[in-house]
Structure 1
């Protein structure tokens, strides 16, 4: 038995740039003019870490809570427009049909997770899901990945992770779990491979088209 853990934002759902705009607007509302390119590179960090990455040390915790709340409200406006990335549903269904345990490993809030699940419409293929409530610390800490492994009913040696950011790769790597990269979140293949991805594919459809190769390579790396 084996399993595949999936990040969601930017990996299965086309939401990364909506997050970028929501963070950009939230930061501007509270007096921070941060270039969108900088925000994009921080996407994948949890909301408890992204402001440290974007604003540096010494910012006010109370003000941070207001920025995070503004981001959540601004992003929620886009929930009805969320769409799965090409091949996302078929990838989840195919993995499940092959007998793989499929777990969504995301630190999205519960309401946001519900919107993502409605978008994917693949509940029948999922073994388990995670949310922000399940992790003491967000990526690149491995907490949410560790919970996903536990809910899969498998060991870390029996799973691979699929993600679109360097933070996904780092979080999985801290548990010695190989990570397959996808570039549909906006990072290039070279950067994902440089940070340790076992392969880099354009989107879920590209990964599905090369699934045997991708899984074989990833599980082989887990044995090294």
Structure 2
């Protein structure tokens, strides 16, 4: 029976979380909002509308959401041609593919941003499918992104592992009923990932690759 390794992308396979922090901070600043960078960092991993609601509150002027999101996208797009993958990110996906895992991406990115992330990872030959924000009604921490990723490849939750770097990833994976692996390279503390549902935590893709035989992806 097939088994699926589902991966978040930003902060998990590609070193982009702090780029998102800086560009969201600037988008908020341009719109007249003073939002601390540490608060933005803790919100990275949410979809754009959920991130804005998390930081500005439900009583905000929601008509401004689209402009904020567009500003962030425009600012972040400046980095599309040089997004840095973490060391061994592509090797990790290829190794899992060679070991019989079906590799799926589950990300809030879409369109040109998703294409830029896939170019950075440079492992398309190992990726069976991608569930993007365009494919679901609710983003993480709802389980829908992970569930949709598994539906794309026809693998049951009992045969899946989800790898991510934020508490939103771990909560989404837990709610989807899959085992969760946390990575520290997104900047979220180990204890927070474990509290949110991580079965085990590694430093980064290179650490997970070196530890595969003792991991949930053995």
Task: Check conservation: 1:102, 1:152, Cα contact below 8 A.
Answer: no
Match of 1:220 in 2: none
Structural mapping, 1:206-217, within 5 Å = 206-215=207-216
Match of 1:57 in 2: 58
Structure 2, unpaired ranges of 5+: none
Question: 1:163, 1:132 → 2: CA distance?
Answer: 16
Structural mapping, 1:1-224, within 5 Å = 1-215=2-216
Question: 1:212, 1:38 → 2: CA distance?
Answer: 36
- Helix, strand or coil at the partner of 1:78: helix
**1:216 to 1:67, Cα distance in 2 relative to 1, 3 A:** closer
Structure 1, unpaired ranges of 5+: 218-224
Task: Check conservation: 2:4, 2:161, Cα contact below 8 A.
Answer: yes
- Provide runs of 4+ in structure 1 moved above 2 Å: none
- Helix, strand or coil at the partner of 1:104: strand
Task: Check conservation: 1:107, 1:135, Cα contact below 8 A.
Answer: no
- Helix, strand or coil at the partner of 1:108: coil
TM-score w.r.t. the length of structure 2 is 0.97
Matched pairs, number: 217
Question: What is the CA-CA distance between 1:152 and the residue it aligns to?
Answer: 2.0
Residues 144-173 of structure 1, C-alpha deviation per residue, up to 9 Å, x if partnerless? Answer: 111101112211111010000000010111
RMSD (CA atoms): 1.1
TM-score w.r.t. the length of structure 1 is 0.94
